[in-house]
Amino acid sequence: MAGSIPLPHGNKLIDRFVVSDKKNMQDMYTLQVSNELRNDIENIADGIFSPLEGFVGEGDFQSIVKTGRLNNGLAWTVPIILDTDEQEARKMKDAGEIALATDSNEKFAILHVEEVYSFDKIASAKSIYQTDDIKHPGVEKIVNMKDRLVGGKVDVIKRIERSPLRKYRMTPAETRAEISRKGWKSVVGFQTRNVPHVAHEMLQKAALNLYDGLFVNPLIGKKKQGDFKDELILSTYLALIDGYYPKQMVMFVTLHTDMRYAGPKEAIHHAIMRKNFGCSHFIVGRDHAGVGSYYHPFAAHEIFKDYTDLEIEPLFFPAFYYCKRCLMYSNERNCSHGPEFREELSGTNMRKMVSSGEMPANHLMRPEVAKIIVSYNEPFV
Ligand SMILES: [Zn+2]
């Protein structure tokens, strides 16, 4: 199918890595950040959040919250922010340039402090998450943030060390080079935070009938209780792709950032990151990035109507199920049979499988995948 790989968001791939410019980092005012934040700082430096070059300033922050766009009008829905308390914020502002360090005090980046500002936590949460219910994990996170935000560009000096979990991480520059080497003109991005069922596989393969390549891109990072652990998502997908996918048609790359559970706004954010990786299309799931019942199942589809300028095309596949009458994977668009003929692996089935060690039917979950899950001691976060 004809098509083309989009330019990065904002037309330029951001690269904020500085080679061996350690300057006088040792003498700099230093702020320790969490591992989760360090992930996102590296994501900024690698251009996964292009066009952001650092933590957003007040103008962009207010614009994102109020309009779902940066100050310059470019689509952006989830602000990337650094919070701190008032006293520390003042010191950072005075210092101008500060070192960012891990919790073991390893300095890895420089933040060029441009501005310090306060923000309305409840109003921001309400706009991003469409609720101010403190039980929502995103709202809870924002409400518990410190009172000041710090905006400014970052320069990263040292990468996070490779670990088994990061073995499949790639930068957008690398994925774009690989897509170009493969000669793909269309690439479908698939976001996941789940272990693969055959229904997911069939959906991905349906997309492969239409486009040159499939970009399987599980999100590795902080998730909520009850989600599958990162190691498990990684190992089950590797087993699935190894056993059932044509290798030349698939790229498997991990994305290291936290789930925000912002539903529709996060669907846009997810699409933008995949555009930066070089995807021309992006599969948006039912209740994409949702949690509980905060979002209408199709809100994440509807929102794309407001973002026709995104330059990555959303694909709204209906959910796949196994139909006992059709004797195949079907969906509501191509099967006329009622719910009594449909077989799906529900969350409840999955939990039962984990607690009893009972393997699901082979046509619902590949045995290679199920074996890994049942042999795992604590599969859930
Ligand atoms: Zn049917």
Cis peptide before 51 (omega within 30 of 0): yes
Give the model's confidence band at 343: pLDDT under 50 very low, under 70 low, under 90 confident, else very high. very high
**Minimal CA–CA distance to 117: which of 83, 166, 154, 66?**
83
User: Is the pTM here over 0.85, yes or no?
Assistant: yes
pLDDT tens per residue, range 191-216: 998 899 999 999 999 999 999 999 99
The residues, ordered by sequence, that sit 6+ positions from 379 with a Cβ below 8 Å of its Cβ are 228, 229, 232, 354, 373
Residue percentage of the chain with pLDDT more than 70: 98
Give the model's confidence band at 376: pLDDT under 50 very low, under 70 low, under 90 confident, else very high. confident
Q: b vs e for 256-280, b when ≥16 Cβ sit within 10 Å of the residue's Cβ?
A: bbbbbbbbbbbbbbbbbbbbbbbbb
Lowest mean pLDDT among 47-56, 188-197, 216-225, 301-310: 216-225
Give the pLDDT confidence score for residue 348 in this predicted structure.
76
Identify the bridge partners of residue 149 per DSSP, sorted by sequence position: 83, 117
| Spatial separation of the C-alpha atoms in residues 370 and 15, rounded to whole Å | 40
Give the model's confidence band at 1: pLDDT under 50 very low, under 70 low, under 90 confident, else very high. very low
Find the mean pLDDT for residues 350-376.
Answer: 89
Give the pLDDT confidence score for residue 131 in this predicted structure.
93
Residue 218 reports pLDDT greater than 60: yes
Query: What's the gap in Å between 74 CA and the centre of ligand 1?
Result: 43
Give the pLDDT confidence score for residue 381 in this predicted structure.
80
Matching residue, tokens 């209780």: 225
CB 230 within 8 A of CB 165: yes
> What residues are labeled active site?
193-194
Sign, CA torsion 23/19/42/229: negative
Residue 317 reports pLDDT greater than 60: yes
Calculate the CA 54 to chain-centre distance: 18
pLDDT tens per residue, range 103-139: 999 999 999 999 999 999 999 999 999 999 999 999 9
**Minimal CA–CA distance to 111: which of 63, 12, 44, 20?**
44
Q: Which residues sit with Cβ closer than 5 angstroms to ligand 1, an ion?
A: 323, 325-326, 330, 335, 337
Find the mean pLDDT for residues 40-63.
Answer: 98
Query: What's the gap in Å between 218 CA and the centre of ligand 1?
Result: 30
pLDDT tens per residue, range 79-91: 999 999 999 999 9
Residue 2 reports pLDDT greater than 60: no
Residue 22 reports pLDDT greater than 70: no
pLDDT tens per residue, range 232-286: 999 999 999 999 999 999 999 999 999 899 999 999 999 999 999 999 999 998 8
Secondary-structure breakdown of the chain: helix, strand, coil percentages, each rounded to the nearest 5: 35, 20, 45
Kindly give the interhelix angle for 367-374 and 230-244, rounded to the nearest 10 degrees: 160
Structure tokens at 143: 């409400």
Query: What's the gap in Å between 322 CA and the centre of ligand 1?
Result: 8
Matching residue, tokens 């069922």: 197
Query: What's the gap in Å between 336 CA and the centre of ligand 1?
Result: 5
Query: What's the gap in Å between 202 CA and the centre of ligand 1?
Result: 15
What does DSSP say about strands 328-330 and 187-192: parallel, antiparallel, or unpaired?
unpaired
Give the pLDDT confidence score for residue 23 in this predicted structure.
63
Residue 227 reports pLDDT greater than 60: yes
SS3 138: helix
Return left, alpha or beta for 23; rule: phi > 0 is left, psi -120 to 50 is alpha, else beta: left
Give the pLDDT confidence score for residue 19 in this predicted structure.
80
CB 55 within 8 A of CB 81: yes
Average pLDDT of the chain?
A: 93
Sign, CA torsion 377/136/258/220: positive
pLDDT tens per residue, range 129-149: 999 999 999 999 999 999 999
